[in-house]
Chains A and B, each alone.
Chain A
């Protein structure tokens, strides 16, 4: 296995962390180390965590700092090779057969091949980052299919033979952990569990992402969101929700709403489940007052 050590001028987790910060992604030590190891060892990076902790953002930031195009494959139940890898352009093939008459044509030529995300990444491994998003939404058949791809970075198209990547492509997988992934898949990858960021880091993320938000607002939102995450809610607010909440409250405040009220009126962007809202409604005032203090 090729150990690269340096990729795109990045030779340590610290260098990667710095580059990510320049791309507006605040990484902690754990994710910077895991991402660096994945790049250096030429292994896929598997990011797991609750929804809204910034898994997809991490992949985007990695593509940005490497100066590569991000190819995103959103997984869903029933996704198969024809959606992920390649597909033949059947109508075109059929027309070609009819038009050919007595001449012989190759209906499995390049012109009839429709490239899907995984094939695209395989063909241009030095200029792309492949993001396989929410792998836990796909079914086990697709996971097994992915295993083969991730171990050898090659695929076989029965009509054309095997296509192998010239170098190991950069692959990032994300999972919300709605089901357990296959052990073999975890083994192939460099793994990182993304937790909610610390209060300090989250406040900085909010201010980087939403430049209109004042520091005091960001801190108040982080404190409130931290409390909400400790409640038994069916959907706890993620980092994205915290950013939205801070932005929405700032907007309302500029429109004339007073402070605690601006937070309260914009709670809908942080909590999106009716039952969760009902559950917290009675204590919301106290919770916000405490957080804003």
Chain B
């Protein structure tokens, strides 16, 4: 071939649609673009619906962003008006019931992760910007010790061991071949330990203002240091920020998370937030057998019985449930607020969450605590 083949004129609109999706935060690989073009050719296309379906199948937008995909599709191919969040619920954000707020009710947060100029939002919810700051000593300690000192469980994969319940037939055979089929030593296998799942529920309401930024930094360090960590924030909404925190670059990750969370420094109804969390089966599953850390002061404005039920349920699912509150200082902490007294018996640890160093120290100590 003497020169690079030109893109057919008809294909340009489709390729530029992919570019538009990418500009709006959809991760699309070149091979997916190729598949998209092939799919359109296969389908005809006979209608805009064919193009939309081809895109859904080959470009694979995640289901919780399908509303954003549809909006961009309408804008690009049908020349429609971009009305963010006109349809669909964002699965990653669960709004709690608002009471007595009258006409001030903010609209649905289904566009919470549409970025750029598309995300012109009417809602007057707070947005937080974080100033850059280097990792503190506590976070450095967490990053260093997380791989070896966090709680583990026995996994289902096997590894070589001196002693163990299973014979390592593969290795034994290979060694026996060297000895003319004589088995000199039987290799053994045991279960390989795995890091335990972790779930962080971070209170971002007004009363936790002083701590929420640090807590999010800590969550980022944890997500980076160990697999299977899920992070949610709650206040007047419940938001899953795990995906944002997976970005390696700290400031970028925090900015992305801050953008997702739209209920900074507002009110909170912890009980309802936890119930909303448990009500989404996909989310509720994250707590099963996990190390659950709730970073909240437990200043409940809502219904105490809702809080008690939710914490009891969470406690039954979790491997160990820790409540880290800035109000608990010192080892002889006795809860004073009604809410904390109500949930005391369901919580394994109720300890100091007043500084990153204290939280990190608690997280690192969990393995020994459980064993004790």
Contacts and interface: CB of A to CB of B under 8 A. Distances in A.
Contacts of B169: 90-91
A30 B53 contact: yes
Nearest to B66: A193
Interface residues of A, number: 51
A283 interface: no
Instruction: Count chain A CB atoms within 10 A of each CB in B50, B56, B181, B279 and give the residue with the most.
Output: B181
Contact of A234 (B32, B156, B180, B278): B278
Given A48-B63, A88-B170, A236-B281, A37 B177 contact: no
A76 B158 CA distance: 14
B138 interface: no
A226 B53 CA distance: 25
A232 B173 contact: no
A107 B177 contact: yes
Contacts of A13: 43, 53
Contact of A187 (B29, B39, B176, B285): B29
Nearest to A12: B43
B155 interface: yes
Given A37-B39, A43-B35, A187-B32, A193 B63 contact: yes
A5 B281 CA distance: 39
Instruction: Count chain A CB atoms within 10 A of each CB in B42, B176, B177 and give the residue with the most.
Output: B42
Size band of the interface chain B makes with A: 35 or more
A204 interface: no
A94 B173 contact: yes
A18 interface: no
Interface stretch (A62-70, A175-183, A253-261): A175-183
Contacts of B227: 140
A187 B31 contact: yes
Contacts of A141: 157
Contacts of A25: none
A52 B172 CA distance: 44
B38 A232 contact: no
Contacts of A91: 169
A246 interface: no
Given A76-B156, A140-B227, A190-B58, A234 B284 contact: yes
Nearest to B243: A180
A50 interface: yes
Contacts of B275: 232
Contact of A41 (B29, B39, B279, B313): B39
Interface string A182-207: 01001101111100000000000000
B183 interface: yes
Interface of B: 27, 29, 31-32, 34-35, 38-39, 42-43, 49-50, 53-54, 56-58, 60, 63, 66, 155-158, 169-170, 172-173, 176-177, 180-181, 183, 227, 243, 275-276, 278-279, 281-282, 284-285, 313
Given A13-B43, A78-B158, 4 more contacts: A30-B56, A94-B183, A97-B180, A234-B284
14 contacts: A1-B38, A3-B42, A5-B42, A13-B43, A34-B53, A34-B56, A48-B63, A78-B156, A90-B170, A94-B181, A100-B181, A186-B60, A187-B32, A234-B278
